[in-house]
């Protein structure tokens, strides 16, 4: 937790009691929730776990926060994250490192590590996270909780502090799929304040949950069982796929998405480029941290960014600025966008044959704190199974699928655009037949 909102939570709980005594209420009324600290909360600090916004208090609520407040939710706090959502371990927080509740010497994943841990450790019933390249699903897998990245445009991004605007999406982290469907019922829907929000019908996601998968076709893309994947992960995921087959799904292991190996490179051009543009607003003039011990405006701006941003954020800003610079734009950014189109087309072709695709959430078990912090490439490879989904803009969910050496393993289910009900149905059926999601760490 970055901020604990105890007084607010008690006031909201009293209001929820009154609502439940006098009227029909939403299933989320009175239920404790935590919110990742990159979503604006009126009157409550929103730091993005960065020194740059350490004392920033927004004057308005994000749309998702408005929706939760409107149904009587109880907000107990804001959660730690990798600074400005840039990271895969929550070690890049400028405030402190969050630890995995299953093994305190290991990372919880990132960048929504605080949200995943809060749910895994029963500090809240559910949490909100954001996902730019796997930041909901990867920590969900590392902490043995359920995490959903909706289709791009399904949930409003208004009030989400931008990292990479064409990739960011808000979604829930919960203890099981039923809770995930309940939360998505509240979050999903068109918002005219978000230009990327899609005016598309939203079903009641709890009504399509089923106990079997008869008639569903599921593909297993070869490229997601990557070189270097830990054997324990592959064994657990293939066992989980076998369970899906037992539940009635038709499984095809001959699926191929040949441009998947290029997704990592394309992502780390597109995302830093958008970050470079989005983070240009932090200049020490309008809000946030400001370096004042100088007589020059230009030096003040330079020092503000030097001391306000952490190492990983500065690394990505520099990568993005280079990719967008004159003489390199076509060679890097434009080429990455062309690769993005090819990846999206391959997903479209796969979904012409299959209702969903299944992959590991991460190629490894949760790694030790400090193990990859000085090796950016190895850290980036943690998201190799999740970031193609953001590039394509499709929905995906991570659910608990086993343990190895006491550490969680997550399975990812990917759907066609705006087919959240299908992946929730598959995930729910799996959870009805297994008990991985019911296990809790000893705290």
Catalytic machinery residues: 36, 111, 135
b/e burial code for range 356-372 (CB count within 10 A of at least 16 → b): bbbbbbbbbbbbebebb
Instruction: Name the residue with tokens 């998505």.
Output: 184
The CA-atom distances, in angstroms, between 161 and each of 85, 169, 280, 301 are: 9, 11, 13, 20
Distance CA(427)–CA(175), nearest Å, equals: 12
Instruction: Report how far residue 27's alpha carbon sits from residue 330's, in angstroms, rounded to the nearest whole number.
Output: 50
Query: Which residues is 79 bridged to in the sheet?
Result: 36
Tell me the C-alpha distance between 177 and 398, whole Å.
Answer: 10
Give every CB contact of residue 82 below 8 A, 6+ residues apart in sequence.
49, 88, 89, 90, 91, 92, 93, 110, 111, 113, 135, 312
Evaluate whether 420 touches 210 at the Cβ level (below 8 Å). Answer: no
Q: Residue 418 in 3-state DSSP?
A: coil
134's torsion region: left (phi>0), alpha (psi -120 to 50) or beta?
A: left
Alpha carbon 297 to its chain centroid, in Å, reads: 37
Is cis: bond before 111, omega within 30 of 0?
A: yes
Residue that the structure tokens 């189109």 belong to: 341
Give kind and range of the element (H or E) at residue 142: helix 137-143
Quote the tokens at residue 222. 């070869």
Question: For 435, how many CA atoms within 13 A lie in the half-sphere containing its CB?
Answer: 2
- Centre a 10 Å sphere on the Cβ of residue 344 and count the other Cβ atoms it contains: 17
Contact 394, 347 (CB under 8 A): yes
CB neighbours of 368 closer than 8 A, spacing ≥ 6?
A: 105, 106, 107
Edge-first strand order for the sheet with 32-36 is 3-4, 74-79, 32-36, 126-130, 170-174, 146-149, 396-404, 407-415, 356-360, 217-221, 250-255
Residues 6+ apart with CB under 8 A from 23: none
Question: Please, are residues 345 and 394 in contact by the beta-carbon 8 Å criterion?
Answer: no
């Amino acid at each position: 937790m970055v901020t604990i909102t105890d007084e607010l939570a008690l006031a909201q709980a009293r209001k929820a009691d009154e609502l439940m005594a006098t009227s029909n209420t939403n299933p989320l009324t009175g239920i404790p929730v935590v919110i990742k600290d990159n979503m604006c909360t009126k009157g409550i600090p929103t730091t993005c776990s960065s020194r740059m916004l350490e004392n920033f208090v927004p004057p308005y609520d994000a749309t998702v926060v408005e929706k939760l407040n409107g149904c009587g939710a109880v907000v107990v706090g804001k959660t730690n994250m990798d600074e400005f959502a840039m990271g895969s371990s929550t070690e890049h927080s400028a405030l402190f490192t969050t630890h995995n509740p299953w093994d305190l010497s290991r990372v919880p994943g990132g960048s929504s590590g605080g949200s995943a841990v809060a749910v895994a450790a029963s500090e809240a019933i559910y949490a909100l996270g954001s996902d730019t390249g796997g930041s909901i699903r990867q920590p969900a897998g590392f902490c043995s909780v359920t995490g959903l990245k909706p289709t791009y445009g399904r949930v409003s991004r208004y009030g989400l502090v931008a990292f990479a605007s064409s990739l960011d999406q808000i979604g829930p982290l919960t203890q099981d799929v039923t809770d995930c469907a309940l939360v998505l019922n509240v979050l999903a829907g068109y918002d005219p304040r978000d230009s990327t929000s899609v005016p598309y019908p939203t079903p009641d996601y709890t009504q399509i949950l089923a106990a079997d998968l008869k008639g569903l076709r599921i593909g297993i893309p070869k490229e997601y069982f990557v070189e270097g994947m830990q054997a324990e992960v592959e064994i657990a995921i293939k066992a989980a796929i076998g369970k899906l087959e037992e539940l009635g799904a038709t499984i095809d292991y001959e699926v191929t998405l040949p441009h998947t190996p290029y997704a990592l490179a394309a992502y780390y051009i597109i995302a830093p480029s958008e970050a470079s543009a989005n983070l240009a607003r932090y200049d020490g003039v309008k809000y946030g941290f400001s370096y004042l011990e100088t007589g020059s405006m230009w030096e003040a701006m330079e020092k503000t960014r030097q001391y306000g941003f952490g190492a990983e954020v500065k690394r990505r800003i520099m990568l993005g600025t280079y990719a967008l610079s004159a003489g390199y734009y076509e060679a890097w950014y434009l080429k990455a966008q062309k690769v993005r189109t090819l990846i999206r087309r391959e997903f479209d072709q796969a979904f012409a044959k299959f209702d969903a695709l299944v992959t590991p959430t991460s190629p490894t078990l949760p790694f030790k704190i400090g193990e990859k912090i000085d090796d950016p490439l190895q850290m980036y490879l943690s998201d190799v199974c999740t970031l193609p989904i953001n590039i394509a803009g499709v929905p995906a969910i991570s659910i608990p699928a086993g343990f190895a050496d006491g550490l969680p393993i997550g399975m990812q289910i990917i759907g066609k655009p705006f087919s959240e009900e299908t992946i929730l149905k598959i995930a729910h059926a799996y959870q009805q037949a297994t008990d991985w999601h019911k296990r809790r760490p000893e705290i």
